[in-house]
Amino acid sequence: MIPPALRRWPHDHLHASVYRLCEIDCGSGPGLKPDPITDQFRFIVRMAFACHERNVPYDVAWTVQDRRMSATITATGKIPTPKPLPKAPKLKLVSDWKPAIWDAEYRLEAYYDSTRNRQCPGFIIEHSCGLSLVHPSESGELGVTEHGANEDIRQKWFVTHVASGKGFGLTLNFNRATAALLLAASFPVDWTQDAGTFKTNSEIRRAGNTVIATYGNGSERDAAKRRLAELERAA
């Protein structure tokens, strides 16, 4: 809602407009609290955002003098009507998902093996977010290798993208793979998208690298942390 004092802000006309806000106390020293942010200050930010979205030339000047802050916005052109500021995305609530190894089903195309450049068989447990847990298997029997030897079914689990079969590059035990998938699912991103869009989606790249930085080995973790730092600098 536009504050009463600002309802006369002209819009939808070509002209130059300047508005100065009343000052607020910024506070200083122990025991001194700053004045709360006012609707007028929020309006300045919303107006600047609206001008930015519509390519309307504007300038915002913030000044602090003797603990008093004031702001001035100057805009020239077709002044837009400000809208509420976009809210920061919230982490999705992930329900208590406690898969069991025995929930896995065998598929001939369970995951994509980049070294062989093809889809490979394995046991898969899908999560509704678009990711899955995969245990590679050529034999079709849990706990049995393709040569008939025994293997520990709790080891060698991948976190993969269901639609493409491509993974995060992690090989984990079952419990850590489950935790890594739930961490990825907690981010406000759509894992059901085509994998081809992931490289250009900074939020998905941030989510993926956070998972690797948390559950990868030493070199994987360090590389993921560097990529996260690059994403922060580019933001």
SS3 label, residue 113:
strand
Lowest mean pLDDT among 83-87, 204-208, 217-221: 83-87
The pLDDT-based confidence of 86 (bands split at 50, 70, 90) is low
Together in a domain, 133 and 196: yes
Together in a domain, 55 and 141: no
The pLDDT-based confidence of 6 (bands split at 50, 70, 90) is very low
Global confidence as pTM: 0.59
Together in a domain, 150 and 210: yes
For residues 63 and 48, what is the distance between their CA atoms, to the nearest angstrom?
16
Burial annotation 184-197 (CB, 10 A radius, 16+ → b, else e):
bbbbebebeeeeee
Q: In the predicted model, is pLDDT for residue 207 greater than 70?
A: yes
Together in a domain, 32 and 117: no
Q: What is the DSSP letter of 218?
A: H
Q: What is the DSSP letter of 150?
A: B
Domain that holds residue 25: 4-78
| Domain total of the chain | 2
Together in a domain, 129 and 226: yes
Together in a domain, 121 and 68: no
Q: Is residue 217 part of a domain?
A: yes
Q: Is residue 52 part of a domain?
A: yes
Q: Amino acid letter at 195? A: A
pLDDT at 4: 36
Q: What is the DSSP letter of 5?
A: G
Q: Is residue 89 part of a domain?
A: no
Together in a domain, 49 and 108: no
Q: In the predicted model, is pLDDT for residue 208 greater than 60?
A: yes
For residue range 137-171, what is the model confidence (pLDDT) as tens digits? 999 998 888 888 999 999 999 999 999 999 999 99
HEC string for 31-44: CCCCCCCCHHHHHH
Q: Is residue 90 part of a domain?
A: no
